[in-house]
Amino acid sequence: MLLPFFFHPSIPDAGIVLTLEEDASKHIISVLRMQVGERILLTDGAGRQAITVISGDHRKRCSVTVESVEWVPVRKPRTTMAVSPLKNASRYEWFLEKATELGVNAIVPLICQRTEKAHLRRDRLQGILVSALLQSRQAWLPEFPEPIPFLEYLKSSAAEDGVKFIAHCEPGDKKELTSAKPDPHDDRIILIGPEGDFSPLEIEAALAAGWSSVSLGPTRLRTETAAIFAASLLRS
């Protein structure tokens, strides 16, 4: 039977007592009705997982004693999704949730010429990432940096190894992402634009920087659909 799985931002070595946050404490004691002596599994979202034993059953300040700690290696090859935020916040939240479940390593909010909403409620979005992490029982949260302008991201990622794709709807010499077969050991990054797609100048800049144009199929997809379709292909 799988142990109940919770997030804690820092996990110490075995033998240390932790006091859990109020939301987790309430769920453990009031909802799951767990008792002193029962075990739960914790992750810090950075590769550490710990089996812990409930040592104090206060519903707002549940305490647990770390019994054992395991290091979970990060999943490779790395997949990075650089995706423009959307005017409809709920659609971007849905993308973050599903990308986390798929095991994407990094999600970069990409500010493009046609991006309509650049401000993100980071506390809320971080909570969505944590919930998806726990639902999919993983040990690594995706990296989720501050939004970055498109051209600045091209420069900052220039030294990163791996294959780099830009998905867009403009005509030109493009291959299907479904037919792209990167080396199984190569990291991969893909750029997904906003509603309205990347501008021709952005596409030109990416191609000049060594990115490869790809198509996601014959139909025009919403940004979040395109991102999840691409993430599924690159993680498979």
Digit-coded pLDDT (tens) for 56-90? 999 999 999 999 999 999 989 999 999 999 999 99
Q: Determine the pLDDT at residue 179.
A: 83
Q: Tell me the CATH number of domain 79-235, given options 3.10.129.10, 3.40.50.2300, 3.40.1280.10, 3.10.310.10.
A: 3.40.1280.10
Report how far residue 165's alpha carbon sits from residue 180's, in angstroms, rounded to the nearest whole number: 10
Q: Determine the pLDDT at residue 181.
A: 74
Q: Determine the pLDDT at residue 236.
A: 78
Distance from chain centroid for Cα 198: 22
Two tokens, residue 209: 């920087």
pLDDT at 170 over 90: no
Containing H/E element for 207?
Answer: helix 200-208
Residue range 190-210, pLDDT digits in tens: 999 999 999 999 999 999 999
Q: Determine the pLDDT at residue 22.
A: 93
List the domain boundaries for the chain: 5-71, 79-235
Report how far residue 194's alpha carbon sits from residue 196's, in angstroms, rounded to the nearest whole number: 6
Residue range 171-186, pLDDT digits in tens: 888 888 888 777 788 8
Task: Please tell me the CATH code under which domain 5-71 is placed.
Answer: 2.40.240.20
